[in-house]
Amino acid sequence: MRRTPALIVGGGPAGASAAILLASAGAPHLLIERTRETGDSLCGGFLSWRTLESLRSLGIEPDSLGPARVTHVRLFAGDRMAEAVLPRPAQGVSRRLLDSLLLDRAERAGAAIERGVAVKAIDGTTAQLQDGGAIETDALFLASGKHDIRGLARPAEARGADPTLGLRIRLAPAPALDRLLGHAIELHLFDRGYMGVVLQEDGSANCCMAVHRSRMAEAGDPDRLLDALAAESPRLGDRLAWRRGGEAIDAVANVPYGWRARAATSGLFRLGDQAGVIPSLAGEGMGIAIASGMRAARACVRGGAGAAIPFQRRLARDLARPIDIAGLIRAAAERPAIARAVLPVARNLPLLIDVVARLTRIDHSHLDHPATAQES
C-alpha cells in the first residue's frame, strides 16, 4: 500500500485547481486521474466572468481559452425569445482545452500527477484501485465529478422520481451556424428539459441538454428526441438543422440536481459535483468546481486534514442559495406555460439577468465583493 499526505481523486477542474494551490504551497500530495488522455467531458463548456477571474488567479488568462467570447444570453420558449447583455464577458470553451490547461498549470507548479489510475472504492481515506493496489492518505480530495465511487457515492434518492439525463452533441463549425449564435449563449426551454447552445474555441457549437427520463422515454432514443425538439421549437430546429448525421451523442444518467453534501468528515474534502450539483442552466458548475478546489487546498494547507469539517460545512452553506435558486428557475423553465409567461419580463428587465447571475454564484472572486467590483 502506498501513502501520501494528500490524495486528489480526479483531474478535472476541481482536482486540478486543488493541485495547483497545494503544489504552489509546497504541500506534499498526489493527483490521480482515471483517463490516460484528456477527453472532452460532457459537462461544462461555459465559464462565467467570475470563473474567469478565478482561473486568472490560478495563472490561466482568458486569452489562452480561445476566441469564443460570450457577451449576450438568449432565452427561447416556444415562439418567444428574450435577449440581454451579460454583466461581463464570459467564455465558451471545451472541457478538453480547459482541463488540459489546468493540468498543465498544475504540472508546471510542481504537482504530482499520475494518469490511468482508476479508483474502484474508497474506504475511509484509503483509495482502493482497480489494479488491486491501494493509496492511503490523511486528506482525501474527492473530485470525481458526476462519476460516483463506491463507498462515497451520493444517495440514490437524490436522483428523484423522474431522474435527469445529461446529453451533449457537438455541431461542426459552419459560417451560417456562427452567424446564428454569434457571441451569445442560448438557452432553449421545452417540456421537461432545456438545452444550452454556445460556440467553443474551434468554432463548433456545444449543445448540452438536461432532460427528464420520462421525456426521453416518450421519444424512444436521443436522435428521435432531437428530431422532436427541432419540430416543436423552430429556433432550436434552425440550430439542429446543422447536424450532419452520425454525430456522437454523449450521455450521463441520473444527474442529482439540487443535491449537496451536508455531512462533514475529518480528512474528506468533497469538491465540485461531489459537494453540490447545481442545475446547469445557471452556468456555474465550473465555477463551483474550481472554487471548491481552491478553497479546499487553502483550508488543508492552513489546518491539515481536520480542516475538512469546517471547509465542508461552510461550502454547504454557501451552496444552499445558488442551488436552491437555480432549482426554482429550472422548475419554471421546464414548464412551457410558465417559461413563455416569464420571457417578456426577462426581455423588458435585462437587469434580471444580472440579479439571477449574482444569486446563483458563490463567493470565489474579487468580483463578488461590491467594493472591489467597482474598482475593477
Could you tell me if 333 and 194 are in contact, meaning their C-beta atoms sit under 8 angstroms apart?
A: yes
Please tell me the distance from the alpha carbon of residue 245 to that of residue 5, in angstroms, as a whole number: 49
Q: What is the CA radius of gyration of the chain?
A: 20
Give the phi and the psi of residue 258 in degrees, each rounded to 5.
Answer: 95, -15
pLDDT of residue 374: 32
pLDDT of residue 341: 81
**Residue 245, number of CB atoms within 10 A of its CB:** 5
Please tell me the distance from the alpha carbon of residue 162 to that of residue 209, in angstroms, as a whole number: 16
Q: Which residues of the chain have pLDDT under 70?
A: 346-354, 363-376
Please tell me the distance from the alpha carbon of residue 358 to that of residue 352, in angstroms, as a whole number: 10
Please tell me the distance from the alpha carbon of residue 313 to that of residue 49, in angstroms, as a whole number: 26
Fold type of domain 2-66+95-156+258-337+349-375: FAD/NAD(P)-binding domain (3.50.50)
Could you tell me if 29 and 111 are in contact, meaning their C-beta atoms sit under 8 angstroms apart?
A: yes
The DSSP H or E segment spanning 136 is strand 134-142
Could you tell me if 134 and 128 are in contact, meaning their C-beta atoms sit under 8 angstroms apart?
A: yes
Please tell me the distance from the alpha carbon of residue 209 to that of residue 221, in angstroms, as a whole number: 14
Please, which residues have CB within 8 angstroms of residue 147's CB and are 6 or more apart in sequence? 10
pLDDT of residue 87: 83
- What's the burial of 162, exposed, middle or buried (CB within 10 Å: 0-12/13-18/19+)? exposed
In a 3-state reduction of DSSP, which class is residue 284?
A: coil
Boundaries of every domain in the chain: 2-66+95-156+258-337+349-375
The residue count of the chain comes to 376
Could you tell me if 154 and 147 are in contact, meaning their C-beta atoms sit under 8 angstroms apart?
A: no
pLDDT of residue 365: 44
- How far is C-alpha 113 from the geometric centre of its chain's CA atoms? 22
Give the residue from 235, 218, 217, 237 showing the smallest Cα distance to 227.
237
**Residue 238, number of CB atoms within 10 A of its CB:** 13
pLDDT of residue 279: 92
- How far is C-alpha 328 from the geometric centre of its chain's CA atoms? 18
**Residue 34, number of CB atoms within 10 A of its CB:** 18
